[in-house]
Chain A
Amino acid sequence: AQSVAQPEDQVNVAEGNPLTVKCTYSVSGNPYLFWYVQYPNRGLQFLLKYITGDNLVKGSYGFEAEFNKSQTSFHLKKPSALVSDSALYFCAVRFLYNFNKFYFGSGTKLNVKP
């Protein structure tokens, strides 16, 4: 089955420290990977995506993600966390061979403490 997993329901990090939000996927074929952020009572906002090319993708608000094909992972990272980064983060996988469908992970709540 094609799916995406976010193994951590919650990640806690102190302001100024690096953060990582994990995402793994299972797929037959080439995946296209996305990260979205959701603030309370708001829709999902696009952060970044990996299509092809350089495994390290840079996105909005200083976030980046590294595609690792051997580990089927696409972890979201930021070198220095801000309190304002506290939100819900969703990884999504898109498979062009399945009607352009997006599959979303269950989400990871990021808490950045001052």
Chain B
Amino acid sequence: EAGVVQSPRYKIIEKKQPVAFWCNPISGHNTLYWYLQNLGQGPELLIRYENEEAVDDSQLPKDRFSAERLKGVDSTLKIQPAELGDSAVYLCASSLGLAGTTDTQYFGPGTRLTVL
């Protein structure tokens, strides 16, 4: 079974440029998460989707970050414009999303963003 797929794996851009990350979750997983991981720190949730609905985006900096999951499967996270402080690893995770259960999150390999 394929795991969570993310692309690109690495991205280097100039500040003020736009950038987009793509994630395809494990087949059948209804819940999708985007996390930000700074060097030497644990992941921090940016946004969580239940199917196509964003149910928790309280930590997403909405002035420059946006996300979509139009058909409830794959998802795109965008930053426009990027700032130096956005340099980090962006992780995508998915889970079955069974309500009221403790299902496990499975992570993709991440996209390492460097903003110059």
Smallest CB gap from B4: residue in A: A43
Task: Tell me how far the C-beta of A87 lies from the nearest C-beta in chain B, rounded to whole angstroms.
Answer: 14
Q: Evaluate contact between A42 and B109: CB separation under 8 angstroms.
A: yes
**Across the interface, which residues of B come within 8 angstroms of A106, CB to CB?**
40-42
Of B4, B42, B43, B110, the most chain A CB neighbours within 10 A belong to B42
**A44: contacting residue among B45, B102, B107, B112, CB under 8 A:** B107
Q: Evaluate contact between B42 and A90: CB separation under 8 angstroms.
A: yes
What DSSP secondary structure best describes chain A's contact surface? strand
Is B55 an interface position by the 8 A CB rule?
yes
Is B44 an interface position by the 8 A CB rule?
yes
**Across the interface, which residues of B come within 8 angstroms of A94, CB to CB?**
102
Interface residues on A, range: 20 to 34
Q: Evaluate contact between A99 and B108: CB separation under 8 angstroms.
A: no
**Across the interface, which residues of A come within 8 angstroms of B41, CB to CB?**
106-107
Beyond A49-B102, A49-B104, A51-B102, is A101–B45 a contact (Cβ under 8 Å)? yes
Within 8 A of A (CB), among B64-116: 91, 93, 100, 102, 104-110, 112
Chain B residues at the A interface, C-beta cutoff of 8 Å = 4, 6, 31, 33, 40-45, 48, 55-56, 91, 93, 100, 102, 104-110, 112
Closest 4 CB pairs of A and B: A104-B42, A43-B107, A44-B107, A32-B102
